[in-house]
Structure 1
């Protein structure tokens, strides 16, 4: 008997393997998946500009990177004793203006070089709600705790989102025509916007994304992380304490489904080896000086050396 419905997921025609170079960008769920790539030692770059939730800001960053537009003094501002940029996450804010600009331009340059070699790009959209700075009339990626009265809140319409997604695809393809796209909608609910408003926001993302995928001449992949969380894992035992974010069990399950569909079967044996090494590295001995533990460390090092010789990109 089947006690739940399972989301059908098509296998990728261009799966990820240990020679692949992955670029991930988007909401905090993008970081959840990226942590799995990091754990299994895939070549992965994630959110170089920090967590970005909306398709408007994601497109703006890709335009800046792909067209090699430098960050300048007009792109940063001083608030609460730190310099910020409305296009990036507050994790990058700095007390020194020149250091911030130098960091942003370095990240942009590295992202440009990285995208040219990237084989798979994973874009995770989180919300259709955006905040517009009333002084500049620009939509921001992050408000940096600037007073709410300086922003107006608006819902991106489906046509606008679709255009931003299409622009993002074209910008990246112009730089790297062979890149494989994987899109998903974050399963994290943005309840601060309201329950109905969150559903409206997600529905705009779904409609725009599927319209783009269906009318695109080149194949685009869609991974149903939101659907898996809402349907297969429709139980609060799969949520973190805030009852909004997926907990580790849910993340592990979604990763399992992702890996079965988007990672090459030839990589599974290597993933198993990496997993065994990672668990061994986390092992804490009751007697670190014992002969038994020294033999354990020696055997572990041999495993690492053997794997590193086979795949030099893997570093522990």
Structure 2
């Protein structure tokens, strides 16, 4: 008896992820959930240098700035609610000091440019097709920074607009790294503030837009959204807000990603690093006991063996 539908997944054979791979992750908060997994298992990765991006237009503009190595100045930031902000970046980069935010922006551009040039994979997670356009500048913003909504118009990107934006994203990335593998996915996080029907329409536009650019482009798709909707179709896999996936759901989707995208030789290393990480979190009852000292000695030996193989790994 089958009690669950399974999303068919094919093992990646062209460019699987291993401990020599270098990843760049851009997009919604779900990309940070997956990025936290890459961090835990000590893979080389860079996550959202400008903070969370929800829609493709924000990612497109960011990549244009990265490839051109844009230098941000005072003309690119504004002061509101006692802090300096930039409409092209998430509020996590905002600061009470304008020099601090400018340093964060310009450092983020240089870090992203360097990371993309050397990356083997770029994961792009799209969250919504809804965007906000600044009435004063007529520019679509990455983040509104809690500015009054009357200063923006809300728009739903069409499939055609999304397709064009994604095509530009691919072109920008490949202009500085022609061999990189680009993996698109749609965030399973529900944007219910837009409305139930509106959220469904938004996700549908993203999915249609992504699949329109996969043919003939050096890009592929991982079905995070579909796994959540079909294999985990139960409210117990959502947090209390009924919007975000639980830790179990994130772990489940991560396991699917590992099964699909990770090389076979990376799995034993991941298991060993998992053992080390759990060991580092262990809190002994008797810190000075012989048993705990032997445990620490064995743990340090494991760490040294891993670092012999992969010098970039730090604990």
Instruction: Pick the TM interval, shorter chain.
Output: over 0.9
Query: Which residues in structure 2 correspond to 1:32-111 (within 5 Å)?
Result: 32-111=33-112
Identify the residue that residue 227 of structure 2 maps to in structure 1: 228
Return the alpha-carbon distance in structure 2 between the equivalents of residues 196 and 222 of structure 1.
Answer: 24
Identify the residue that residue 8 of structure 1 maps to in structure 2: 8
1:279: Cα distance to partner?
Answer: 0.7
Return the alpha-carbon distance in structure 2 between the equivalents of residues 102 and 37 of structure 1.
Answer: 26
Gaps of 5+ in 2: none
Query: Per the alignment, in what secondary structure is the counterpart of residue 265 of structure 2?
Result: helix
Matched, 1:281 2:280: yes
Q: Is contact 2:123-2:184 (8 Å) kept?
A: yes
Greater CA deviation, 21-30 or 289-298? 289-298
Return the alpha-carbon distance in structure 2 between the equivalents of residues 199 and 99 of structure 1.
Answer: 39
1:306: Cα distance to partner?
Answer: 0.9
Query: Per the alignment, in what secondary structure is the counterpart of residue 143 of structure 1?
Result: coil
Query: Per the alignment, in what secondary structure is the counterpart of residue 265 of structure 1?
Result: coil
Query: Per the alignment, in what secondary structure is the counterpart of residue 91 of structure 1?
Result: helix
What is the TM-score normalised by the length of structure 1?
Answer: 0.98
Identify the residue that residue 296 of structure 1 maps to in structure 2: 295
Return the alpha-carbon distance in structure 2 between the equivalents of residues 217 and 230 of structure 1.
Answer: 27
1:120: Cα distance to partner?
Answer: 0.3
Query: Which residues in structure 2 correspond to 1:145-294 (within 5 Å)?
Result: 145-214=146-215, 216-218=216-218, 220-294=219-293
Return the alpha-carbon distance in structure 2 between the equivalents of residues 28 and 110 of structure 1.
Answer: 20
Return the alpha-carbon distance in structure 2 between the equivalents of residues 103 and 47 of structure 1.
Answer: 12
Q: Is contact 2:18-2:263 (8 Å) kept?
A: yes
Return the alpha-carbon distance in structure 2 between the equivalents of residues 11 and 31 of structure 1.
Answer: 23
Return the alpha-carbon distance in structure 1 between the equivalents of residues 232 and 84 of structure 2.
Answer: 41
Return the alpha-carbon distance in structure 2 between the equivalents of residues 208 and 307 of structure 1.
Answer: 42
Return the alpha-carbon distance in structure 2 between the equivalents of residues 152 and 217 of structure 1.
Answer: 33
Return the alpha-carbon distance in structure 1 between the equivalents of residues 283 and 66 of structure 2.
Answer: 43
Please give the per-residue CA displacement for 1:210-231, whole angstroms capped at 9, x wherever unaligned: 01112x243x220000000000
Return the alpha-carbon distance in structure 1 between the equivalents of residues 182 and 109 of structure 2.
Answer: 20
Query: Per the alignment, in what secondary structure is the counterpart of residue 311 of structure 2?
Result: coil
1:99: Cα distance to partner?
Answer: 2.1
Identify the residue that residue 310 of structure 1 maps to in structure 2: 309
Return the alpha-carbon distance in structure 2 between the equivalents of residues 237 and 221 of structure 1.
Answer: 30
1:54: Cα distance to partner?
Answer: 0.3
1:298: Cα distance to partner?
Answer: 1.1
1:236: Cα distance to partner?
Answer: 0.7
1:103: Cα distance to partner?
Answer: 1.7
1:98: Cα distance to partner?
Answer: 2.0
Return the alpha-carbon distance in structure 1 between the equivalents of residues 279 and 102 of structure 2.
Answer: 41
What is the TM-score normalised by the length of structure 2?
Answer: 0.98
Gaps of 5+ in 1: none
Q: Is contact 2:191-2:199 (8 Å) kept?
A: yes
Q: Is contact 2:124-2:184 (8 Å) kept?
A: yes
Return the alpha-carbon distance in structure 2 between the equivalents of residues 113 and 280 of structure 1.
Answer: 34
Please give the per-residue CA displacement for 1:203-253, whole angstroms capped at 9, x wherever unaligned: 110111101112x243x2200000000000001111111111110110111
Please give the per-residue CA displacement for 1:246-301, whole angstroms capped at 9, x wherever unaligned: 10110111000000000111100100100110111111111112121111111100
Identify the residue that residue 126 of structure 1 maps to in structure 2: 127
Return the alpha-carbon distance in structure 1 between the equivalents of residues 217 and 212 of structure 2.
Answer: 12
Q: Is contact 2:49-2:111 (8 Å) kept?
A: no
